[in-house]
Structures are given as C-alpha cells and as structure tokens.
Structure 1
Amino acid sequence: MRKFILLTALTASLFANDIIIKNSANSVEKTVSKIQNIVTKKGFTVFAIVDHQAGANKVRMQLPPSKEIIFGNPKMGTPLLQENMQAGLDLPIRILVYQDKDLKSKIAYRDGEWLVSEHNLSNRKLLNKMNFTLDNITTEAGRKQ
C-alpha cells in the first residue's frame, strides 16, 4: 500500500504545473508594452524589464526575443512577506514573454498556488486576488490590438 501511495504522489508531482503559459497575438515587444501599460494603470510599480535576448547578444550567444517584466504592489506583497519573509525570493511578480520555436509569442507566469505551497502561505483571499489579477493582465495583454 505504501508503494502505491508513493507512486501516486510521485506521478501527481510529475504532472503538476505551476507555470501558466498563454498565447499572445502580439509580438514579444508589443505584449511587454501592453503589460507595462496595464499594470501601471492598475497601480502597480514596474521595477524592471529584463531583456534576456539582449543579454545573450552581449556574450555573442543567441536567444529568440524574451523579456521579463517585474512589477508589484506593496498592498499585495507586504502581507505575504509579513507571513513569510522568504516569499521575497519570488516577489515582486514576474511575467516572462518570449518567442517559442514556432515563432509564436507566449506569456508565462507562476500560479499563485505555487507561492502558497512553496512558502507555506495562508492568505488565500489575497492569493486568489493575485491569481485573478494576473489572469486578467495576461489575457488582456495577449489580445490583438
């Protein structure tokens, strides 16, 4: 019986996916610009935009277009940090926008459930709000303009 339970748990963990990936009808650049505009209008602060392709180019390596936008709001992040300071390793929020091997733009971000389990957080109301907000931001940013 223990082998069955262990096998079931292992199988579930192999198929668990804490990263949500969506398609974008826009280029990487346009999608990142839209995310930046949306989050700013919602009162978030954009802390940085990391251009992974530019970094690769600096060391004479190649990557397809890939940018990560890092943003947050102290009203959402501070209560999570008060609960577990180590959540700061995964906050502020990050959304990765990249071009896949089929030249399609993708939007990727971590599901809030991952944050809950990784940092043993209990503020479900806030984490549900975070998931809802990220879903709305990424869906809007991925729509053709």
Structure 2
Amino acid sequence: MKHPLSFALALGLLISSTAFAVDGLVVKKSPYSPEETMDRLEQTVTERGLKVFARIDHAAGAASVGKSLQPTELLIFGNPKGGTAFMACAQSLGIDLPLKALVWQDADGQVWLGYNAPGHIAERHGVADCVVVPKLSQALSGIAAAVVGD
C-alpha cells in the first residue's frame, strides 16, 4: 500500500512544476518573455536540423477580430525522416504531425512552453510501443530544456 503523504507530496511537486494538468501535455516554465521564448524555440529547432513549417500568433488572430488574448504562439516543426519513422508505426499519426509547441503567457504573467508528449500521441494511435517514441521524447525534452534553461 502506498503512503498517502508520499502521493500528496508527489502531486504537489507535479502541480508546482506545471501550469495545470492536461493529459499528454508536457509543460515547462519559461524565465523569458513570450516573444523571447518563442524566438529561442524557433532558433533551437532550426539549429537541431528541423524545419519550421509555421509560426502562428493566436493573440494577433484574436486582435484581428476585436478580441484580446494573452500572448500565445504556436510553432509547427519537424522533418520527414523522423515523421515518416513515427508514421510507420501507425499512418494515422499524420494527424498529429508535424510536431507542435505552444508558448503562452498566463493571466499572472508566467510564460509557459508546452508540447504533446510523443508517448501520449503514440498511445492515442494504439502504438504505445512504437520504437521511435523514446528518441523523439528525448529530442523534444532536450529542445525544451535548451529553450527554457532547464
């Protein structure tokens, strides 16, 4: 039987390191502004040989229809070699590729970097044992660490 205090401590540590719990979303605090965090993400992705397909400014989209939204940008990136290897496990994975990372600022001013966990994506498509998941997870973790300074 697990000790309830251990569970409470683990839960507290998890909550303190993420903005909120969203199934399959890896979230890291950023010490940088939203723009600098996104610039660092785009630069890191490019330096690691990945292609940036799009950078989408959701806050600008909201402003274009007279609405306001905290700074929120999405980066879509990847490469055919890695994506093809992932899709070889289940072609339906193509709906979740290319990879995406979101940078946003919450109402308290904290900036966050988030991305879908490759293991979660693989589970969604029924291929949790896909051989590329560990390498892809490690690559995304490394990119996030380089961006936010973990």
Q: How does the TM-score come out when normalised to structure 1?
A: 0.83
The aligned length equals: 130
Q: Name the aligned partner's letter for residue 33 of structure 1.
A: D
Greater alpha carbon shift after TM alignment, 97-106 vs 117-126? 117-126
In structure 2, runs of 5+ residues without a counterpart are: 1-20
Q: 2:148 aligned with 1:138, yes or no?
A: no
Name the counterpart of 1:24. Answer: 30
Name the counterpart of 2:108. Answer: 102
RMSD: 1.7
Name the counterpart of 1:33. Answer: 39
Cα distance in 2, alignment partners of residues 75 and 84 from structure 1: 15
Q: How does the TM-score come out when normalised to structure 2?
A: 0.81
Q: Name the aligned partner's letter for residue 26 of structure 2.
A: I
Name the counterpart of 1:120. Answer: 126
Q: After TM superposition, where is structure 1 displaced by more than 6 Å over at least 4 residues in a row?
A: none
Give the number of the structure whose residues are more often helix, by fraction.
1
* Structure 1 residue 122 displacement after superposition: 5.4
Residues 42-53 of structure 1 mapped to structure 2, 5 A cutoff: 42-53=48-59
Greater alpha carbon shift after TM alignment, 49-58 vs 17-26? 17-26
In structure 1, runs of 5+ residues without a counterpart are: 1-14
- Contact map agreement 2:24 2:116 (CA 8 A) in 1: yes
Higher relative contact order (CA 8 A, sep 6+): 1
